[in-house]
């Protein structure tokens, strides 16, 4: 027990980690985790918003530490633990949302069908837009992709392309007009709803 007292006063997390890895002594892990249990609980409360679930999470994370600490090289235990607790809580929330049951009635079935049609329509529009962008002249296509898809500003586009600011502005305006014309033509050939 005198070794444990010396470790406690040393305040060195990395020493505790290395000793735990070499000996597997759970007392060492408990000493280390005890220093940060308040942090683990606070993070759990932040994500789970339930005291009992947070207490459970703190204990579950301790159990995870037994294996995970042996597998990982941890330089900053506090920040590593924060991430571990956060991920643990997010996984609990994700699995809880997967296990919810849904009661479907006629209205919800119609809503699902409407949503499916809306998704199909959006996919068709995106495909058509992609086709229309492909039909633009090379400089218009490049500036439209940089401006709208990569969200670059005019100044960044001038630096990337080597074109002057007025030319970039003109290409984007003309490209946008040509896209609208192409998209309007494609509305006539839209899939039936």
- CATH topology for 2-98 is Rna Polymerase Sigma Factor; Chain: A (1.10.1740)
- What would the pLDDT profile of 1-42 be if each residue is shown by its tens digit? 334 444 443 358 989 999 999 998 999 989 999 999 999 999
* Residue 52: how many other CB atoms lie within 10 Å: 8
Residue 1: per-residue pLDDT: 39
Binned at pLDDT 50, 70 and 90, residue 163 comes out as: very high
Q: Express each pLDDT in 52-70 by its tens digit.
A: 999 999 999 999 998 888 8
Residues 6 or more apart in contact with residue 75 via CB below 8 angstroms: 14
CA torsion angle 109 115 121 127 (round to 10): -120
Q: What is the pLDDT of residue 191?
A: 53
Q: How far apart are CA 89 and CA 87, in angstroms?
A: 5
Pick the CATH number of 106-187 from 1.10.3720.10, 3.30.70.1400, 1.10.10.10, 1.10.600.10: 1.10.10.10
Say what the pTM is: 0.46
Q: Where are the domains of the chain?
A: 2-98, 106-187
Q: Is the dihedral of CA 7, 8, 12, 17 positive or negative?
A: positive
Q: How much is the pLDDT for 53?
A: 92
pLDDT band at 184 (very low <50, low <70, confident <90, very high): confident
Q: Which tokens hold the place of 107? A: 């209205």
Cα torsion angle, 167, 172, 173, 179, sign: positive
Mean pLDDT of all residues belonging to the chain: 82
| Predicted pLDDT at 5 | 41
SS3 state of residue 76: coil
Residue 130 has a pLDDT of: 80
């Amino acid at each position: 027990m005198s070794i444990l007292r010396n470790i406690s006063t040393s305040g060195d997390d990395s020493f505790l980690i290395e000793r735990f890895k070499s000996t597997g002594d759970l007392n060492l892990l408990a000493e280390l985790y005890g220093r940060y249990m308040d942090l683990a609980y606070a993070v759990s409360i932040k994500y789970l918003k339930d005291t009992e679930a947070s207490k459970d999470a703190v204990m579950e994370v301790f159990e995870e530490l037994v294996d995970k600490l042996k597998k990982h090289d941890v330089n900053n235990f506090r920040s590593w633990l924060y991430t571990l607790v956060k991920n643990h809580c997010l996984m609990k929330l994700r699995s809880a949302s997967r296990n919810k049951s849904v009661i479907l009635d006629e209205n919800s079935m119609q809503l699902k069908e409407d949503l499916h049609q809306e998704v199909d329509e959006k996919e068709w529009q995106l495909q058509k837009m992609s086709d229309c962008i492909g039909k633009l002249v090379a400089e218009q296509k490049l500036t439209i992709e940089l401006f709208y898809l990569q969200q670059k500003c005019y100044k960044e586009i001038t630096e990337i392309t080597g074109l002057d600011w007025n030319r970039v502005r003109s290409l984007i305006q003309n490209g946008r007009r040509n896209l609208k014309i192409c998209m309007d033509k494609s509305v006539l050939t839209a899939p039936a709803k």
